[in-house]
Amino acid sequence: MKHTTLVLCSLLTTNCVAQEVNLDQLQLPAGFSISVYAEVENPRQMALGAGNTVFVGSLRGRVFAVVDSNGDGAADAVNAIAEGLNTPNGVVYHEGDLYIGEINRISKITAVDSKLSGVQRTETVDDSLPNRRHHGFKFLQVGPDNKLYLPVGAPCNVCEEDEIFGTLLTMNLDGSDRQIIAHGIRNSVGFDWHPQSSELWFTDNGRDMLGDDIPACEINRLTSVGQHFGFPYIHQGDLPDPNFGRGRSPADFTPPVLKLGAHVAPLGLTFYRGDTFPNAYDNTLFWAEHGSWNRSDKSGYRVMMGRVNADNSGIAENAPFVEGWLQGQRNWGRPVDVLNMPDGSVLISDDMANVIYRVTYDG
């Protein structure tokens, strides 16, 4: 069995952390292969910029630019372009600018393509978001309507809080006209628009402390502005909360498209948009299951794929796409996000192993 040990050094200190990355333990469908694209400290959401530059958020105050200048499928440079930020989990690139999602702030690096070699100043787009770290990690996208989309998670395991919590928001690119478009979402850290229907699909992490097997984490689909997905009253579409669900009917809320395993912690989600995977991967959704922390037997720690049905209303079947980070009850990696690349490959970030992987089809 081949073992690859990567050594990741802090960009600000001489301290290094050795992390064993065993690619041979990762299992993929026949014809696919996986390699290490880059070593990055705590990589979270990824965003594709110009010239195949991949921007990467983290939970440790920095944002990185990962550069593959010769296009050989492996990074040549990993540069910190922002630092000292408030947990900048989310990044999205739009028309030359990089938007960054911090806990209480959306910030921006203007004309980022010319600023990849060092740390840059950020400007504020909106700094009026709640400064609550619990489920406060932001995931950012720019939607088909040219607006920013982001979540505000519930600041608790389960609770009733101010209206802004447990929601998805939109705002203009300058931070104006902020609106709530969906309610009842405990903690979404990944979403994407279906390439055909343009409907927003998103992950949601179920509540804890109801046992090993309930409630299910969820994949959801937003079909109209203002929908309520149940939290904290109804979980997984059909399970009333023991404290908050009294007198509430599941029929009053929007159920999930797919119920996942309890505590698998689905984060990044994307539809496959490339043309190098087999035709069976058309209309396929990928999501990263970050893995459980409070289950007797660990679950998750894999990237899943779901084939969307013909009318784009649900998932006809789902199965593992990449698994093997969990070996018995020991996990050596935790996938976070999945990103389409122009050559048809996909990248997967892993904030535990401190790497970004590249998956290609070679069959």
Percent share of the chain, pLDDT over 90: 93
Class of domain 4-361: mainly beta
Q: Rounded CA gap, 10 and 307, in Å?
A: 40
Q: Rounded CA gap, 115 and 3, in Å?
A: 36
Q: Using DSSP, state whether 277 is helix, strand or coil.
A: coil
pLDDT (0 to 100) of residue 19: 64
Phi, psi of 114, rounded to the nearest 5 degrees: -95, 10
Among candidate residues 141, 189, 150, 155, the one with its CA nearest the CA of residue 169: 150
Helices and strands (H, E) in the chain, number of each type: 0, 31
Question: How many other CB atoms sit within 10 Å of the CB of residue 108?
Answer: 18
Structural domain boundaries of the chain?
A: 4-361
**141, 192 contact by CB (below 8 A):** yes
Among candidate residues 216, 154, 221, the one with its CA nearest the CA of residue 192: 221
pLDDT (0 to 100) of residue 363: 85
Q: Which residues of the chain have pLDDT under 50?
A: 1-3, 5, 7-18
Report CA-CA distances (Å) from 293 to 211, 215, 313, 334, 341: 12, 14, 31, 11, 31
pLDDT (0 to 100) of residue 10: 41
Provide the token pair at 149.
């989309």
Distant-in-sequence, close-in-space partners of 288: CB < 8 Å, separation ≥ 6: 190, 266, 267, 268, 269, 303, 304, 335, 336, 337, 338, 348, 349
pLDDT (0 to 100) of residue 2: 40
pLDDT (0 to 100) of residue 4: 53
